[in-house]
Chain A
Amino acid sequence: MADAKAKIALELNGEPVEVAFAPHKTLLEVLREDLGLTGTKHGCELGECGTCTVLVDGTPVLSCLVLGLACAGHRVKTVEGMAERGTLHPLQEAFAELGAAQCGYCTPAFLLAAEALLATDPSPTRDDIKLALSGNLCRCTGYIKIYEAVELAAARMRGEDAKPAPETLYGVQ
């Protein structure tokens, strides 16, 4: 019944890691169950919601449909790898500031999808952001605070001294 475990080496959040797991496990399961990184969530395990998004070699993918074995030798980044030395990533900072994380369940996925977007396009338009995040479902926010947070983070990452617009936080007066 239980298959012999397979062992792979990969780069996880910037560090070399070796992990052994049942060979049919997906990256999602390996991260959560064999590596203890429960920041990666799941909403369907069928590739239909985007909640399990992680970066593999910098590209956002659905960890519920990637085999753990296929990650041998690759770079994997999860939400746990975003903050560096105790400092939040600008996206994390902006999501927290604007309330772009309500229940927080889809948040890790949105953060990583947004990070991948900003890595290739530092100045995305609102439509670019909508397209890039169109594979991630959120039921709480209506996405609006998420767009605004991505825009705020992008501006700050470009070196601008950006602050949230008053109507973002207080509505139109």
Chain B
Amino acid sequence: MTRYLRECSVVFRRQLRMNLRNPAWVLIGILQPVLYLLLFGPLLKPLVGSFGVGTDNAYTFLVPGLLVQLGMFGAFFAGFSLIAEWREGVIEAERVTPAARSALLVGRLWRDVLQLFVQAMILVGLGYAVGMRGSVGGVVLGVLITLLVGGACAAASNALALVSKSEDVMAPVVNIVMMPVLLLSGILLPMTIGAAWLQTVSDFMPFRYVVDAVRDGFAGDVASSAVAWGTLWAVALFALAMWWGASVFRRENA
């Protein structure tokens, strides 16, 4: 186990070093949610009271959605850097070392989750600055759920990258997945204000429960059933994505 953790941390440190050499990516990744926060948040202010959600504060409503969005979509792009490395022979060189092949994935996920954590802190900090009210315990829980979901998406993205080995496949797949997730998860507006059929459709969107859970957490309602369901979904998605990712990395002929 220590050996495994050591292998993961070698991979992690290498990735982190390369990321720190190019810190612009952390900021570019956070730019989109920050723009939503600053330019879309004000539009919600007069509306949020009529949503019938747990809060009347536009930012307490919006920041959790943006956080999950950041976790999902930021992580979806993690695979692109893996393709670049694969093309230069790095992955193959690592696969010929005795290091556990799943450690090659896990080390990279540590980097993705750390990057997400930094971005989440920036977003939450900005949220407080523009007037968000949130219970600290609930925010911590919300961030943890976000990290779990982000880890899941990063694992899936890395797995997809290693299976497809092509940005030309990755980009459309990520796009096709992203649009319905964005529209059916209630990230920008709550699904509850939609028509009944739309709500029914969104019931089949796992990420919706995650958004609801983080939102309840931020609103201070830590013990709600939505939090329980969202956490459950986050754990399930994470387990599923890790299983897929690990099996792709371990596969003999990748």
Asked if chains A and B come from one complex, the reply is: no
